[in-house]
Amino acid sequence: MTAVPAALTVSDVSKVYADHHEPTLALSGTSLTVGEGEFVCLLGRSGCGKSTLLSLIAGLAAPTTGTIDTHGNRVGMMFQDANLFPWLTVRGNIELALRLSGVPKADWLGRVAELLEIVQLPDAAAKRPHQLSGGMRQRVALARALAQDCRILLMDEPFGALDALTRDALHEEIERVWAARGLAIVFVTHNVREAARLADRVVVMSPSPGRIVEEVPIGLPRPREMSDAAVAHLSGELHHVMDAYDTVREAS
């Protein structure tokens, strides 16, 4: 079987935050490889370093020790909040990403139309964020991330604030875009069923300090639904993994 080339390599990364009291070790000795086109979920409770690791991969902060190699791939990022500029239209928000990515202005109109088709919002270009539902705003945020021609998409609990029906629809949407574009996705969640629903591989993290404690391959065929019995069963197994490491940590 041919090995999949790495899109992302994290090697022995740690992150220490210094404050006025004592330094805090937020992430310790973390190594992770994500293959091209692989969908990886980082799963763990609050404070386990999931978002810290994502911010380091995105280049929003520098690791204290270790290295991160994106192998020349552009990185895009989505947050829990869409973070759209309210004074700009949908077109303006996406054009800003195109400008920052160095896309010639003459190409903006066509690229915006293409991206809005991809996220199934072809008629939203002239709307402002307050005119959109939460799910629609996240679709625009996805279009903005894709405007950067990213090959690695980082997603920090992007659907956590949405209702269940909207979340399920966006699961299908991101899976469709991921498959069509062959992206490598690193998706942060604390929802075990969401991880089982979306991932090729679930990376379980534990806090104090944040670290990877187990990697669970997901062998379930696609497409999957949150209500699938196999997804529910695997969710239970992931819960047991998390609980086991919590018990060890509390006993130590």
pLDDT of residue 252: 47
Tell me the C-alpha distance between 222 and 171, whole Å. Answer: 12
pLDDT of residue 244: 82
- Kind of pairing, strands 65-69 and 6-17? antiparallel
| Residues 6+ positions from 211 with CB-CB distance below 8 Å | 27, 28, 29, 30, 48, 49, 205
pLDDT of residue 249: 57
Summarised one tens digit per residue, pLDDT across range 155-178 is: 999 888 788 888 888 899 999 999
Domain final position from 115, 132, 148: 148
pLDDT of residue 10: 98
| Residues 6+ positions from 202 with CB-CB distance below 8 Å | 40, 41, 43, 195, 196, 215, 216, 218, 238
Structural domain including 114 reads 85-148
CATH number, residue 235: 3.40.50.300
Are both 123 and 207 inside the same structural domain?
no
pLDDT of residue 36: 97
What's the chain's Rg over C-alpha atoms?
19
In this prediction, the residues of the chain whose per-residue pLDDT falls under 50 are 1, 251-252
Are both 123 and 185 inside the same structural domain?
no
Does residue 78 belong to any structural domain of this protein? no
CB 35 within 8 A of CB 10: no
Strand-by-strand arrangement of the 152-156 sheet: 75-78, 152-156, 184-189, 39-43, 201-206, 211-217
pLDDT of residue 251: 47
Specify which residues 185 forms β-bridges with.
39, 153
pLDDT of residue 20: 67
Are both 98 and 189 inside the same structural domain?
no
Query: Residue 224 corresponds to which tokens in the numbers above?
Result: 């999957």
The domain tally of the chain equals 2
Domain final position from 109, 124, 148: 148
